[in-house]
């Protein structure tokens, strides 16, 4: 399903705006890890639906510009995820995390950022702790983000535990 993401050509990467050419590059093992991690949590739905708090969503957790009734193909969903990660989420994350990250920590942080938003991620205790040098505490702080609409959601609890474990592999 995600094969098209991982075979994306260098020419396609060259078309990305300069700010998108950070560490997350299409066709790399890191891109594969990030996309696979996020897709595993978000799932893939080609028709618009309302998420657990009522936000119109499509594809792999995409909410930007989604209208109920929309449908898209799986390849469009894959391309949409990679574009949002490389153009929006990864650059924002790379700006606010000031210390080096291993690939596993990078993927865990990008998954969290994609789920809670770049603004929320950059202001989080996860980033503060990591930038202060307390990497293990930063990974454990991921567990705090287990709520949607003010209530604990079992799926988010599972996701955060998996993100924490992935993060800890990288420290």
DSSP labels, 20-88: G-SS--TTSHHHHHHHHHHHHHH--EEEEEE-TTS-EEEETTB-TT--TT-B--HHHHHHHHHHHIIII
Reply yes or no on whether 62 is catalytic: no
Reply yes or no on whether 42 is catalytic: yes
DSSP labels, 104-149: HHHHHHHHHHHHH-HHHHHTSHHHHHHHTT-HHHHHHHGGG--EET
Choice among 42, 62, 78, 163 that is catalytic: 42
Q: How far is CA 133 from the centre of its chain?
A: 22
Residues marked as catalytic: 42, 51
């Amino acid at each position: 399903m995600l094969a098209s993401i991982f075979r994306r050509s260098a020419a396609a990467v060259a078309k990305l705006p300069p700010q998108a050419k950070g560490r997350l590059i299409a066709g790399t093992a890191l891109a594969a890890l990030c996309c696979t991690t996020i897709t595993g949590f978000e799932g893939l739905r080609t028709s618009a639906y309302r998420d657990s708090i009522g936000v119109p969503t499509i594809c792999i957790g995409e909410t930007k510009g989604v209208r109920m009734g929309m449908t898209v193909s799986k390849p469009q969903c894959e391309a949409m995820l990679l574009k949002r990660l490389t153009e929006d989420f990864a650059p924002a994350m790379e700006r606010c995390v000031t210390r080096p990250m291993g690939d596993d920590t990078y993927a865990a942080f990008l998954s969290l950022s994609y789920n809670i938003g770049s603004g929320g991620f950059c202001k989080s205790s996860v980033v503060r702790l990591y930038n202060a040098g307390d990497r293990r505490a930063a990974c454990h702080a991921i567990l705090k983000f287990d709520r949607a609409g003010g209530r604990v959601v079992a799926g988010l609890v599972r996701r955060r535990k998996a993100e924490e474990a992935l993060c800890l592999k990288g420290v």
